[in-house]
Structure 1
Amino acid sequence: MPKSKRDKKISLTKTDKKGLALKQKIVEDVRNCVEKFSSIYVFTYRNMRNELMKDVREQWKPSRFFFGKNKVIGVGLGRNKEEEVADDLHKLSRCLKGQCALLFTDSPKDEVIEWFESYSCEDFARSGCVVDKTVTLPEGALKQFPHSMEPYLRQLGMPTKLERGVVTLIKEFEVCKEGGVLTPEQAKILEFLGHRLAVFKLDLRAAWIKGSGFERLDGKSEDNDENMNEDEDN
């Protein structure tokens, strides 16, 4: 009986025993999922929110989402044709660049693509986020804020004062500028104002389906993966 591709022993990078054991477990988990599920998808993510991702996992049960170090997951799939645990999986492994993860599922491809294209969730932008919108507040009363917040708003950089117990901007104030990187103070002000400038989104990059093999889903060629800098790895 021919030896299963899954039984191949692949050496991992030199590390301590605890770290090595964890990497070996990840590799084994990936290989178990390859056997268990009929298809695998590589997807990228923007503005990751753990609480929202938890809901996504619930929606997709019993499918399995897999986050981790790209290089270690790549070992589990097979980094080249000689190492791959199933035909064409090394092509999927090449797509593991930057912020990305895997979805193992038995759901039909059309259903997977439709869900990923339609899913997005707005949330408050965090410090360090690049915003795509300018938010400016006109001079005048800010009646949405209680008077007790006025000192804190000034600490955040807003030119405010109390006029007859009402929080008031004494001049026009630009909270953030399109293309700018948010400071912690700007992020907090936007949250107070209720402006959700971040979108949590998952985008499909590629797929591997048993019996069909590898397929690119983002319109890019396989050459893009080979030319990408490995420093983009998580």
Structure 2
Amino acid sequence: MPKSKRAKVVSLTQTDRKGLQTKKALVQQIHDACDEFARVFIFSVENMRNAKLKEVRTGWRDSRFFFGKNKVMSIAFGLDPESEYRTNMHEISKRLSGNVGVLFTNRPREDVEKWFKTYEVKDYARAGNPSTQAVRLMAGPLPQFSHALEPQLRKLGLPTSLKRGIVTLEKDYTICEKGVTLSPEQARLLKLFEHPMATFRINLLAVYDEEAVQDY
């Protein structure tokens, strides 16, 4: 492995002492990862869920994830050929924009690409997301809900009532049409009626391997 540029002074933006120490620690962690791992993958996340990302981290204990703090990570990798930590690592910094992160790993490149290409987890859409299908409810009993939940269903817009202690939908009701932007009430109803419309997945954007960056 080529000699690193560890001796170079890393300049951080002015901040309070505690914040500066946090930034320095992150820079050091990234430098350590650069020395330990052969490859760096830049990725983006669709339908971000912290719990799901935590599960992915758990499954990749032999690797290292960094997510967020793009500016500090860019400084750690280097902003130009003169300040980069290793050859061509400033090309990584150019791609650290938006909701992206980096994965350091020694796993074979082909294995990493195959894993992330096939990995996805269904989840419930949040308010502001577009619906992927129309969801319509037929009038009648809703025995899956307890009587105590009926006021909440009405508050969410459902025309419900209690009949002999059973939550009942008084008439047919459309929660959403396909392609509409979901309101908080619609998102909550879709979760209550178990209609997942979001998919958590990680998309690989580029890879740093053998001192070069290649986009996907």
TM-score after normalising by structure 1:
0.84
1:124 equivalent in structure 2? 124
Distance 1:7 1:124 in 2: 48
Is contact 2:129–2:181 with CA below 8 Å preserved after alignment?
A: yes
CA deviation vs aligned residue, 1:165-193 (integer Å, no higher than 9, x gap): 43222222221233333333222211111
2:92 equivalent in structure 1? 92
Unaligned runs of 5+ in 2: none
CA deviation vs aligned residue, 1:8-44 (integer Å, no higher than 9, x gap): 1132222212111111111111111111100000000
1:189 equivalent in structure 2? 189
Aligned-partner residue type, residue 21 of structure 1: Q
Deviates more, 1:55-64 or 1:128-137: 128-137
1:221 equivalent in structure 2? none
- Whether 1:173 aligns to 2:173 is yes
Aligned-partner residue type, residue 144 of structure 1: Q
Aligned-partner residue type, residue 125 of structure 1: A
Deviation at 1:136, TM superposition (A): 1.9
Deviation at 1:134, TM superposition (A): 2.3
1:226 equivalent in structure 2? none
Distance 1:112 1:54 in 2: 17
Deviation at 1:159, TM superposition (A): 1.0
Distance 1:4 1:163 in 2: 73
Distance 2:86 2:164 in 1: 73
Aligned-partner residue type, residue 204 of structure 1: L
TM-score after normalising by structure 2:
0.91
What secondary structure sits across from 1:203 in the alignment? strand
2:45 equivalent in structure 1? 45
2:213 equivalent in structure 1? 214
Is contact 2:66–2:102 with CA below 8 Å preserved after alignment?
A: yes
CA deviation vs aligned residue, 1:88-108 (integer Å, no higher than 9, x gap): 111111111111111000000
Give the count of matched residue pairs. Answer: 215
What secondary structure sits across from 1:158 in the alignment? coil
Q: 1:6 to 1:178 in 2, by over 3 A?
A: farther
- Runs of 4 or more, structure 1, over 4 Å off, are none
2:107 equivalent in structure 1? 107
2:30 equivalent in structure 1? 30
Deviates more, 1:122-131 or 1:32-41: 122-131
Unaligned runs of 5+ in 1: 218-234
What secondary structure sits across from 2:153 in the alignment? helix
Q: 1:9 to 1:178 in 2, by over 3 A?
A: farther
Report percent identity of matched pairs. 42
Aligned-partner residue type, residue 8 of structure 2: K
What secondary structure sits across from 2:35 in the alignment? helix
Is contact 2:89–2:211 with CA below 8 Å preserved after alignment?
A: no
Deviation at 1:74, TM superposition (A): 0.7
